[in-house]
Amino acid sequence: MQPNPSTVTSGAVRRGLQGSGTHWPSVVFQVLLAASLLFTLVALLVLLADVLGRGMPVLSERGIDFLTAPLSSDPAKAGVGQALWGTFVIGVIVVGVAFPLGVATAVYLEEYATGSRLTRLVDVNIRNLAGVPSIVYGLLGLAVFVGLFKWLGLGNGRNVIAGGLTVAVLVLPIVIITAAEAIRAVPISIREAGYGVGASRWQVTAKLVLPAAFPGILTGIVLSLSRALGETAPLILAGAVLGSFSSGNADLLGQLLGPYTALPMVVYRWTTLPQDEFRQLAAAGMVVLLAITFAANGLAIYLRNRYSRVW
């Protein structure tokens, strides 16, 4: 029953609008939410501060030398040069292999093979593959890629290409899933508009759907690249060297087919060594790895904004 407006005093209206005071459950909920945010932030900050505090002295003291020097049993001389190279090559292989394959697969699943039972089966399996522990991919890399290079007679097969391919396969499901989601998010009305003016399926896909999905695809690519560059377990199996080794004066091909290592491997190795100096080196290596990851993410955000603005 509504009160008759003319008889309601303004004070009553104000009291009505102000409600009955504090709603405690929502206050508690809000505090809980804020607390969990704070917990995450604090954990992150402590981690960052710890790593920076121990790593920065090494970095500022050694400077470029630390980034270029090869592995060594002498902590004063050891650097991440070989590891940076390995990580760089792995990154290139991941970008060159996983992204075209992943995006092409996603396009096929979303635009061409929609709705069939086989598609749904493949879709479910890709989702499961994304959750498979990375060590399993290491076994795959050992059996398939290392085995292949060995069979081809290229040394013992434990080279950076085998490692890169292993990690590429590892992130492939993530690339496919994020790309498929980005493609699915493109409104059907855009596709219909394209078909409506007589565009073929390929034209609709290439000129309308992919450009519209591009920012989302890009985000997925960079996320999986960050993951790829941080992986250690599969690389151990796929033949990355844990100790120090010499690339000597090998040419590019020799380096690609010879022993290799990567940043996370080196960091892991250094933390297991008895000398304290190596733990500082490990922290410095982590700073470098974090810097690379942040740079990759920054690049993704930049590209995404740039391409969104073209519209």
Partner 1 sequence: MSIDSVTVTEPVIRLEAVDLYYGTFRAVRDISYAFPANAITALIGPSGCGKSTLLRSINRMNDLVPGARATGRMLYHGEDLYGHGVDPVEVRRRIGMVFQKPNPFPKSIYDNVAFGPRVNGIKGDLDDLVEASLRRAALWDDVKDKLRQSGLALSGGQQQRLCIARAIATEPEVILMDEPCSALDPRSTLQIEELMLELKTRYTIIIVTHNMQQAARASDETVFLTMGDDRAGYLVEAGTTSDLFTNPRSQLTEDYVSGRFG
Residues near partner 1 (CB under 8 A) are 114-115, 187, 189-200, 203, 207-208, 211-212, 311
Nearer to partner 1, 196 or 274 (CB): 196
Minimum CB separation of residue 215 from partner 1 in Å reads 11
Nearer to partner 1, 110 or 231 (CB): 110
Minimum CB separation of residue 305 from partner 1 in Å reads 15
Minimum CB separation of residue 134 from partner 1 in Å reads 36
10 Å Cβ neighbour count for 178?
A: 24
Minimum CB separation of residue 177 from partner 1 in Å reads 22
Nearest to 55 by CA among 287, 240, 221: 287
Contacts of residue 57, defined as CB under 8 A and 6 or more positions apart, other chains included, come to 280
Burial class for 101, CB neighbours closer than 10 Å (0-12, 13-18, 19+) = middle
Nearest to 149 by CA among 132, 161, 166, 133: 161
Nearer to partner 1, 52 or 208 (CB): 208
Give, in degrees to the nearest 5, the angle at Cα 149 between 148 and 155.
145
User: In whole angstroms, how far apart are CA 267 and each of 9, 73, 97, 116, 290?
Assistant: 73, 14, 26, 46, 12
DSSP code, position 206: I
Nearer to partner 1, 65 or 192 (CB): 192
Alpha carbon distance 34, 46 (integer Å): 18
Nearer to partner 1, 111 or 231 (CB): 111
Nearer to partner 1, 15 or 306 (CB): 306
Minimum CB separation of residue 127 from partner 1 in Å reads 21
Contact present, 87 and 229 (Cβ < 8 Å): yes
Minimum CB separation of residue 100 from partner 1 in Å reads 24
